[in-house]
Amino acid sequence: GDSVTQMEGPVTLSEEAFLTINCTYTATGYPSLFWYVQYPGEGLQLLLKATKADDKGSNKGFEATYRKETTSFHLEKGSVQVSDSAVYFCALPPLRDSNYQLIWGAGTKLIIKP
Amino acid sequence: EAGVTQFPSHSVIEKGQTVTLRCDPISGHDNLYWYRRVMGKEIKFLLHFVKESKQDESGMPNNRFLAERTGGTYSTLKVQPAELEDSGVYFCASSQQGGPNEKLFFGSGTQLSVL
pLDDT digit string, tens, across residues B37-89: 987 788 999 999 999 999 989 899 999 999 999 888 999 999 999 999 999 99
In 3-state terms chain B splits into helix, strand, coil percentages (rounded to 5) of 5, 50, 45
User: Choosing among A36, A49, A100, which should be mutated to test the B contact, i.e. which has the most B CBs within 10 A?
Assistant: A100
Which burial class, exposed, middle or buried, applies to A32 when counting CB atoms under 10 A from its CB (0-12, 13-18, 19+)? buried
Name which of B40, B59, B100 is nearest A99 (Cβ-Cβ). Answer: B100
Query: Which of B42, B103, B106 would best serve as a mutation to test chain A binding (most A beta carbons within 10 A)?
Result: B42
Chain B contacts of A46, Cβ < 8 Å? 103-104
In chain A, which residues have their Cβ closer than 8 Å to the Cβ of B105? Answer: 43
Strand partners of residue B67: B77
Give the closest residue to B58 by CA, choosing from B39, B40, B33, B83. Answer: B33
**pLDDT tens figures, A13-50:** 999 999 999 999 998 777 889 999 999 988 889 999 99
* CB proximity A30 to B under 8 Å: no
Give the N- to C-terminal CA distance of chain B in Å, as an integer. Answer: 37
Q: Which helix (H) or strand (E) holds A112?
A: strand A108-113
Question: What are φ and ψ of residue A46, in 5° steps?
Answer: -70, 120
Is B72 in a helix, a strand, or coil? helix
Does residue B109 sit at the A interface (CB-CB below 8 Å)? yes
CA angle A66, A68, A69 (to 5 degrees): 130
> What one-character DSSP code corresponds to residue A67?
B
The per-residue pLDDT for range A53-91, each reduced to its tens digit, is 899 999 999 999 999 999 999 999 999 999 999 999 999
Nearest CB neighbour to A106, from listed B40, B45, B99:
B40
